[in-house]
Chain A
Amino acid sequence: MSKSDKRLLLLHEKDNVLVCCQTIPAATELWIEGQATVLSTQLELGHKLARRDIAAGEKITRYGLPIGSATQTIAYGQHVHTHNMKSDYLASHHRNAVEGRI
């Protein structure tokens, strides 16, 4: 296993994301899988980062289990969240969702 910053948690060997354990400010230089990268946005506790390049449509895997699919190509080191992945179960609710439409 390649080394990543201690603030990033790998929950399962099969995962393509790492989970952030504490707030990391934007522009922080981070080690992810043995490579240095610069964080483009601030990352809050509980948020996810791509551990490697992820293709559009590929499953996002956490705990070794699928949690949804990428809606676009996600580059190594990028924030993975509702803007670039979606549920394969049913769409998530958003605060700004229009009633009757998600």
Chain B
Amino acid sequence: MNTDAAPALRDDLDDNLRGYLRSDGRKGIRNVVLVAYLVECAHHVARHIVSRADHPDVQLIGFPGCYPNDYALKLMKRLCTHPNVAGTLLVSLGCEGFNRDALSAEIAATGRPVKSLVIQDSGGTRTTIDEGVRWTRETHRQVSNIERVPMAVDELVVATICGGSDGTSGISANPAVGHCFDRLVAAGATCIFEETGELIGCEQIMAERAITPELGREIQACVDKAARYYSTLGYGSFAPGNADGGLSTIEEKSLGAYMKSGASPISGIIKPGDFAPAGGGLYLMDVVPDGEVRFGFPNISDNAEIVEMIASGAHMTLFTTGRGSVVGSAISPVIKVCANPDTYARMAEDMDINAGRILRGEASPDEVGEEIYRKVIDIARGETSKSEDLGHQEFILTYKYFDALGPACLPRR
């Protein structure tokens, strides 16, 4: 890390993070044991195991589909070997198409504890739950002894998303998160933004921030793909309600969402489950599937995108909301940045940051951005976010298809 950087609030604490060191060298800020169902038919059993283990660090994830899908397998591999994850129990019905052996082998290769329970071979619902609870409790006890090691800000991967947006999101919370992202990128961290379907209209502006012209063209192509995909589904990005809220054009609306990315150069494009290269920087995640339109909406709700960024290593997600989303996530904490002061007044118990102060003239976007940055550091140091305290551990994974990244997406620096 560059210790000669301009002094800022509390930089003295930045090197003071402590993380759980994993075998691939990455460090986690949480130490979670996952219980993963591999088809909806195993969901109930897995959920009961998590309920009976009754600990915030024992969490439920899963994939509901019976038919195999390369994207789902890749994401489950990345999630179960995420630095915030210490071990995983796989719960299978037995006849589903999910490749549980490949997933189990991937986890075991990292040295993490893993066990597969197959309900059809274990004696049924109750027997599997009992066995799962025993394994999960014992594993959680074992991994609780893992020592934390020093960790620096440049080892963090931070994601951002907006959900439940209103007319305030683009003028308060999103520019403030953008400032925080610039601070993180300057400190050497990796930052991920996405929602290419909501960036339609600002692709030329975005392309100018790319570190190479070839990457700029890839950025335009991936927004074009999103525009095509959504219009095939019958949805434009600019709805009548947007104009009621004062937004006059699609580029104006998209820029509001785009402000979360800050002003740093864009270092590359990644797809869900891909890792950004070492060295930090700002990355755009292309979340819209490749090829013909299939499997329905790219992301059926906010948590699907949060999961995709976690699969690419995100330690936490900065979630901006105007109307008041309440979600958290399994695996990685969600920090709620509330754009609307009225929403904050109504729902303070769910909100970590009151960016609505900007609209009351009580703080500038940069000041709130600093506050978010300090919150990122505190959360990385183990402080829990509001959604964690409230027990939010939402998770969604659905079917998708992606081609491999093109060579221009990750220019060498």
Contact = CB atoms under 8 A, between A and B. Distances in A.
Contacts of A63: 175, 255, 259
Given A19-B246, A21-B360, A67 B167 contact: no
Interface in B216-263: 236, 238-240, 243, 245-252, 255, 259
Contacts of A85: 248-249
Interface in A25-68: 44-48, 60, 62-63, 65-68
Contact of B248 (A22, A45, A68): A68
B361 A6 contact: yes
A67 B239 CA distance: 16
Interface residues of A, number: 33
B168 A46 contact: yes
Contact of B171 (A44, A46, A90): A46
Judged by DSSP, the binding face of A is loop
B249 A68 contact: yes
B201 interface: yes
Interface string A55-90: 000001011011110000000000011100111111
A80 B202 CA distance: 20
A93 interface: yes
A47 B242 CA distance: 11
Contacts of A82: 243, 248
B66 interface: no
Contact of A67 (B166, B238, B248): B248
Contacts of B201: 87, 89-90
Given A45-B167, A46-B247, A93-B240, A62 B252 contact: yes
Interface in B167-198: 167-168, 171, 175
A94 interface: yes
A67 B252 contact: yes
Given A67-B252, A87-B251, A92-B238, A45 B361 contact: no
Given A9-B359, A11-B175, A87-B251, A44 B246 contact: yes
Contact of A92 (B245, B246, B250): B250
Interface residues of B, number: 28
B205 interface: yes
B373 to A, nearest CB: 20
Contact of B240 (A6, A46, A48, A94): A94
Contact of A65 (B171, B250, B255, B360): B255
B358 interface: yes
Given A62-B255, A95-B240, A89 B249 contact: yes
B361 A81 contact: no
Nearest to A43: B246
B238 A93 contact: yes
Contacts of A88: 249, 251
Nearest to A19: B171
Contacts of A86: 249
A21 B168 CA distance: 8
25 contacts: A7-B361, A9-B171, A11-B175, A19-B171, A21-B359, A22-B359, A44-B245, A44-B246, A45-B245, A46-B166, A48-B248, A63-B175, A63-B255, A65-B202, A65-B255, A68-B252, A80-B248, A82-B248, A85-B249, A87-B201, A87-B250, A90-B201, A92-B238, A94-B240, A94-B243
Interface of A: 6-7, 9, 11, 19-22, 44-48, 60, 62-63, 65-68, 80-82, 85-90, 92-95
